[in-house]
Every structure is written in C-alpha cells, then in structure tokens.
Structure 1
C-alpha cells in the first residue's frame, strides 16, 4: 500500500515539475537556483526535501534540482558545486528502502551525466518539519511537495455531522477550526525554516489546496472527500457503520485557498513570495492517456478508489475497523465512477516559490 501512495505522489509531483514552474527556463527550481548561485557561488549547496516519503519518487525532485544546477552552471560557465541533500520525513518513514535505492540512483546519475556534475551526498533527517531540524543558516534550498496540508495534530473540531471533511453542509465553526490549525502549522513551518535557510536562500513548496471559484460560485462541485463522506452516510443508513463513528471522524488535513497560503507567508514575514500559482490534477490523471478514453466507468472508479485507498486506508481502519475497509472502497469505486461519467473531478494544488529575506 505504501507503494501505491508513492505512485500517487509521484504522479502529482510530475505534474508540478513539468508545468510552467517545473522545468525549463521558466521553472521554479531553475529560476530559484539561478538566483541563488548567481548571488553567492557556494562551493557546496545544501538542500532539504521535507516530507520525502519513500520509494522511487523520493529521488525525482533531487534529480530535477541536479538538472537545474547543471543548467545554471553551464549558463554561468561555472564548475558544478557539491550537493548535500537531506531527506526528511517522520521517524516512521521507511528510510531503509531509500538507502537501498541509493546505488541505483548514483549509477543512473553517472550514466546520464558522466563526470560533468559534482559529488552528491544524501543523508536522512527524521523528524517533524513543523519544528526545528537543522542548525541556523545551514540550508540553501528547501523543497516540500504534498506534505504541508497534513496537520501536526488533530484540532478540536465542532460537530461536523455527516461529513468527514469540509463540505457545503459543514457549520462555520468547522471551517474556522480547520483554518486555524492550518495557519498554526504553516506558520510554525515557516518560522523554523526562517532560522535554518540562509538569507537569499530559496524554498519551493507544493501544497494540496482548494479552488476559490468552487467556494464562491453558485455551482458547487463536491470534492473527492465529500464524495467519500456521502458514501459513508449511505453505509450509516444501511446499518453498516455507526452514525456516531461517522460524526466523530474528521480527516486531519486542510486544503487551503491560494490567498490563505499567501496571507500566512506574509504574516510570518521571513520570506518574499516570488510566484504563487494554482493548477489542477484530474482525479483520474494516474490513468495512462492511451487507455483513459477507452475505460468504462467501473474501471475508472476502481482505479481512482485504489489511489484514494493508498492515502486513506490507515486512517479509516484505525477509526472504523479493518473489517469494513474493503466494503468502503468497493462502494466508493462505484459512486465515483458514476460521477466521473458526467463531471471531470480534479484536485487543486498551489505551488509557491519563496526567497529568505
């Protein structure tokens, strides 16, 4: 199941790295590195990937950074620097699988770049990124992708009856509780990094978010989490799960609006926003383009449900019990497949490039 979770994150990461703000002359990473390297020419660039998870996708942002540094050095006619990379995640992350993959990563790097790139050293830094992890002014570059929407702790949320996340029927107090926790956590992240990143250093953050148009327009398109909540309500009506169990379950993350992300960064005050953009990734984007149009609704539904399960299974099993999880996702695959016959659902994401003042 961890492999499935990595597949989902890998797909989303590809979407970020290959948008206008991903690779090429206009990319976030290349522009940030060009600015950083042009200003200081460090002999060793130290970077951290925060919330790295495990699996092959762990090395994707590192490789993109290496390519960006290589391109920058060629433009400036400079010798490539040494690269020190710290991979951060919670202590329970499977760092051993990352270490086992290191030889193949270095081999591929050598085959594709030869001796044209400087040494690349990797190390693990287990810990909670909402607190301090590194010495003062020790990082040149920080990357984080699809991690900052998760809470450091479950907030005290008022009764959100029949919902598992923010929904059209959620009371105002529920939204306030979610937003307050996001602001608290994101501020703590920025404050910690403000101590660790050198002046002029850069961060590129990709955050799962929410679409302002969906909030303000008269037409409300349910999020995938609302759909899951609808399916759980059906199971309550059929006596398959207890109503009190549903009412006491809230997903511990928050999809912020782009403006909410901006306000927290500006209020904390340590970083300049270079760019902040939003983009969308379809619920079925992990399906190969060659096969998507020929798939029936049942196959698409199972595909989307499988990806959703990779993210949600441990949370659901701990609250509702292992024995009911299979039934949940069988039902969800049917419900989501039928909806996608007429509406193209999508995740909203924000990517922001920051410079330390």
Structure 2
C-alpha cells in the first residue's frame, strides 16, 4: 500500500460507511430493486477490475446458448454512445465498448446490449420481437436497482477480497460483507495445480455461509494467435522477436505467457482508446515485428494502421475441478424460473 493510499484511509472509512448504508437500504426494501421473471445472472466482483469477468461471461454463454436465447447486458465502459444500444452489423467498439463488442463478434447466436441503466436495459431487451430467455449481467454486482435471480462473485487468487480494503486505500467497491449476496464465489486466475489444501485454506478465509458454493478457475490460453488473415502456433510465436501490447487491468500473466528476452512489452490503461500518437508509437517500435495483443484490445485495434501485423491470443476460464457441479447449479436455476414479467420489491 503506497503512502498516498494510507493518507486517504479516512476517506475509505467514509466510503465504506456510505456503501454499507446503501446496501442496508436495498436489503430492507427502502430503496427499490426491480426483479424480472426471466433468469437474470449477474457476474461481478467487489474490487475494481482484473478478476476475469469477460472469460466467465463467455463460459456461461457457451454453457447456455445452445439451448436458450441469451442476451448479455453491460454498461459499455468508455463507449462513445449513450443510453440503450442493441448490437447490430453497424456496431463497433466505440459504440458498444470493447468487451460487449468482443461478445458480439465472437458469439453470433446471442443478443448483446449496453445500457448504464440496467433496469431500462432489461426492459428494452424484453420488449424486442425476439425476447431473450436468459440475461447475463456483466459487471453488475453493485447495481442494486436490479435484483438478479443469481449472483456469481469473482475474486482473483492473488488479490482476494478478504485481503483487501475499501477504496481509495484498497480496491474494494463495497465492504467484504457484500459477498453475502453471492450464490457462487469463483476464485479466478489460480495456478493450474492449486492443491486441495490451498483451496480449503481460501474457502475458510472467505468465510462463506453454508448455502454458498465456491469454485476455483485458471486462465487457459489458446494454442494459437490469430490475425486478420493468418494464424500462428503459440510455440512458434513465443520464440520470435515481437511486440506484446496490452490495455487491460493486470497484463503481467499475458506478458509472462508469451514473452522472451527479445520482446518489448507495451502497457496501456484498461479500456484504453488508442490515439493516432499511440498508433504511431506502436508502429515505430514494431517496425517489421508482429504485434501480439489481448482479444479485448484487438477489437479496438483491428481496423487501424497496424492491422496487418496485429494478432491476438484468446483465453478462457477453466475450472480446476467440479465444473459439472457448477454447470448443474446454473442449469437448475435457469430451469426453475419463469419468464417475462416485472415486479418491484
């Protein structure tokens, strides 16, 4: 913890008090939450960024989309549009935001929408001629104006919420007690060989109640990097001198997976909009080298002047164990819920 964050400790106490009061008012029904009689699954975290929400949403899409009409609803962070937008063939990362646009390009059989007002966003989705049968709320754990039917809380192995503190001293958006709303807690970005003993240690540290389930996942990297008209085996690209580029919250694992001593790593802020100056800098550093980036960055960069040498490395969330239990819990929730009516609580 740096000195400035320590100095701001009183503000963290104040922020924690405000968020606790807000949650209390929602819990008691003094502030109203809208619930929908369609399965709504919220995926989010207690901390700011970097827990792996995108691969977890994609896991749910793969699990559910063969049998149900799926819609994802995101805020569309740093998009240049406003209000409710339903993705179509004219959409791009500027209109939707990078992660929703990634969903839209990757999964052709789902609806992808953005709206900062999640209540309005769900209402708009359910007013479409073809209504979704399941709505996945991306990064909406603190969006209490919608009462989701099922909550999945993510926490990163190297940055557990139990070890963190409130903003601005730490990275928590709300107090650790917010974890009590979760039906499932997923510890993400674990080592592949995480032992049963370590899993139990984390389970005890998080102090979950008896009704909550916990799972452990790791980031699984693809064996191939993909460009506009070419794909290359990862084992070949690892040995080649290249530029590694990332504008994500925690890029170190991405860099570590691909880099060798000849590589240069370029880091930009999360959800960064690349300017002409940025692109010129990247171009000058790359020269005749290939540029490997994350899938999220690729959707923002693929139609720029560096497209011809640009490749991305896909990732997915993989369960260390008990993935069938996770799948069956989600499927049972979905099957047990009715559709398309709205109530206020």
TM-score greater than 0.5 by the shorter chain: no
Bigger RCO (CA 8 Å, 6+ sep) = 2
TM-score by length of 2: 0.30
Higher fraction of strand:
2
Higher fraction of helix:
1
